[in-house]
Amino acid sequence: MKNTVVFFVLLMVRTLYGQPLPPRESDFRWHWQEGRGMHFQPILPPLDQKAGAPPAFYDHYWEFGDGSYSLEKEPIHFYREEGTYEVFYMATGKYDNGKAPRSRKKSVQSPAAGENKNAVAEHSLQKQHLRMQAVRNPRAEEEFVCILTYRNLTPVSQSGRLLFFFNERAWPAAHFDWLEARIHHGEAEEESISFAPIPFSDSHFIADLQSSSINDYLALLPPFEAPRHFENLSQEYRNFKAWRFKALQPGEQRHLFISLMARPNMIKDTSALIYLSGLYESDDGRVSERFDLELEIVASHDPNAMAVSKRRMSFRRAKKKHLDFKIQFQNTGEGPASTVKISTPIPQGLSAQRLYLLDFQPSCAICPKKEVLYSCLDTQILKNELVFAFKNIYLPGTRQRDVNDRDSTKGWIKYRIPLDHQVRKLPLNTYASIVFDKNPPVVTNRTSTHFKTGLSLAPAMGIDLDGDNNNLSLGLLLAPYKPWRPFLQGEVWQHFRQADTLSTSYQKDTSWFRAVIQSGGVISEAKIDSSYKEVYVSRTTYFPNLSFALMPGYHLNDWLSFGAGAQFGLAQRKTKEEITFTRSVKAFNLSTNQEMKDLSKEYPAQREQRTSHSTQWDWHIFANVFIGRVRSGPSVGVRYFLPLGSDRAGRWFAFLTWRF
């Protein structure tokens, strides 16, 4: 009651002052019941009920400090020996809006129980040397606990090595930081790893072990495979931890507890499936067993959820790829469910007709076409939907009386769907709707698989379509690989062409005056014409060198595409100017109006040449159309350039390209 009051006071403070609530904490208390063991009880903050979801509840996890654990709410534990034990407790809120309460450790003083009376629901290993179990799914910025359970199934006492691998290389960033390992059977952490089988000696055997049992053991177990397993896992994962164990007796089972901290970047990969792996290696080299633990990254700890194997995938060779989906469910009702119906839309681009079931729980037969009374799984592939139905089953509810094993209330179905041959480069989104008997449907989170952008290189060759200037250009185009509709393309071009511009202009000056002149002893009045002319001939040669273009485009379909953009490049200009000066003087007799040739004169022409060079950025805007295999393959394009800040006219350009 006190904790509840404090929580609501803090909630009011947050509402009034806009301050975030402090992290929620878990706690617990205990007391010794004479002859009945140590009784543990959790102390937890109130749950923040998620709107529209089933009633929120807590899942509980206890480590008692002696190598055993429990998933009960209020377990009773018997310690074999008197002493001080460090108890670890962690709670997980289901259908809860808040962060999970922080885990709690406390030292507990206990008397000896005298005998082992624990009634703890633990997973035993029947045909496995190694098993891994997650206490809850990983969530960003929360502690994650994994239980490594290992057992000796051989007829001899075993020593060996346990390895734990985390942070897959398949993801761009690591998902976990290492916190600690809690060991209770003398396991020693190992820094360097080497593999060499230790020969058998008398110390390996139990005193009464018969030679026939030894021979059977040597003959039936697989040969030494540890180096191969370790090499494969080292290539799959970034990080690992290793421990040595000793004197594991035949049939003996032990637990090792690992805590990791989920990184904040994990929130980007919610609804994705990730893996942790373990490796059990015996020193004699006869046992080498790997275990892979599949996990779903979650945004909230809802027991009904959907996950997908890939959040991002390459679009190249998409026809040969597939997606694995996992839908998990839990009956949170007060009674058992006999039918669980799961409906999920089929994302466009997946070939549902090639559906393949990978695994499902509860384990049962596949339903025949006719109705049956035994437990079975029915699968229907509709036009846009998959429907799975577990029929005639018994799935207990979490609030059902006398149900302490929460795993018995859970189920899942895992299936694989290949990508369709006509898949588009669009996100593949889906979700699941789960119905327990005739209750209202529970809708899960939405999964989404996006295709990586990918890059497509396209060599190109083009020519100008302007008369004499149709010289060659070579280019390289860079765009996303097979985009669906809009896309952005970058281009680099090297031009092997030139454009000449010729211009001519002149300047003329003519004047006259009267003069009295004497020619041949005769004095006469004459008119003198003086003419001066300058002729300018200018030739400009344009050498575009390297140019760059950026073009937003749009694929109308697989065969037609449009685009427009801007191009800028480095251009050289060479201007050669020739100036010609001419001058003449002519005299005319005013009385006879005849030219007085002895007084007229033509001066020799004078020429002057000037040459100038300049380098400048050249800007164009353009629009174009592509026809052909425009997403991937050969196509032709026609483009019209309009220069900016220049008196040059626009020009047409045609080119051929091939996208890879």
Contact 251, 301 (CB under 8 A): no
Tell me what pLDDT residue 132 has.
96
519 and 606 part of one domain: yes
Type of residue found at 174: A
Task: Give the CATH number, domain containing residue 56.
Answer: 2.60.40.10
- The CA distances from residue 212 to 63, 527, 554, 634, in Å, are 41, 144, 76, 72
Q: How many domains does the chain have?
A: 4
Which of 301, 326, 351 corresponds to the end of one domain? Answer: 301
412 and 352 part of one domain: yes
607 and 489 part of one domain: yes
Which residues in the chain show pLDDT less than 50?
A: 1-2, 4-20, 119-124, 201-209
Q: Is the residue at 209 inside a domain? A: no
Task: Give the CATH number, domain containing residue 292.
Answer: 2.60.40.1530
pTM above 0.85, yes or no: no
515 and 602 part of one domain: yes
Identify which of 456, 457, 473 has the alpha carbon closest to the alpha carbon of residue 465.
473
Task: Give the side-chain half-sphere CA count within 13 A for 128.
Answer: 16
Residues 5-54: tens digit of each pLDDT? 444 444 444 443 444 456 789 999 998 887 778 999 999 999 988 887 88
Which of 425, 451, 477 corresponds to the end of one domain? Answer: 451
Q: Is the residue at 400 inside a domain? A: yes
CA angle 455, 460, 461 (to 5 degrees): 175
Q: Is the residue at 202 inside a domain? A: no
Which of 419, 451, 483 corresponds to the end of one domain? Answer: 451
385 and 438 part of one domain: yes
Torsion of CA 78, 82, 85, 89, to 10 degrees: 20
Strand partners, 123: none
Q: Is the residue at 208 inside a domain? A: no
Q: Is the residue at 207 inside a domain? A: no
110 and 62 part of one domain: yes
Contact 293, 276 (CB under 8 A): yes
Question: How many residues in the chain?
Answer: 660
Tell me what pLDDT residue 207 has.
42
Q: Is the residue at 581 inside a domain? A: yes
171 and 184 part of one domain: yes
Contact 456, 658 (CB under 8 A): no
Task: Give the CATH number, domain containing residue 399.
Answer: 2.60.40.740
Contact 475, 457 (CB under 8 A): no
Residue 2 belongs to domain spanning: 1-122
Type of residue found at 11: L
DSSP 25: B
Neighbours of 406 (CB within 10 A): 20
386 and 515 part of one domain: no
Q: Is the residue at 206 inside a domain? A: no
Identify which of 200, 396, 345, 364 has the alpha carbon closest to the alpha carbon of residue 285.
200
328 and 285 part of one domain: no
Residue that is written with structure tokens 């300049």 in the block = 614
Distance CA 586, CA 467 (A): 46
Distance CA 82, CA 273 (A): 43
598 and 574 part of one domain: yes
483 and 629 part of one domain: yes
34 and 151 part of one domain: no
Distance CA 242, CA 233 (A): 13
Distance CA 597, CA 514 (A): 16
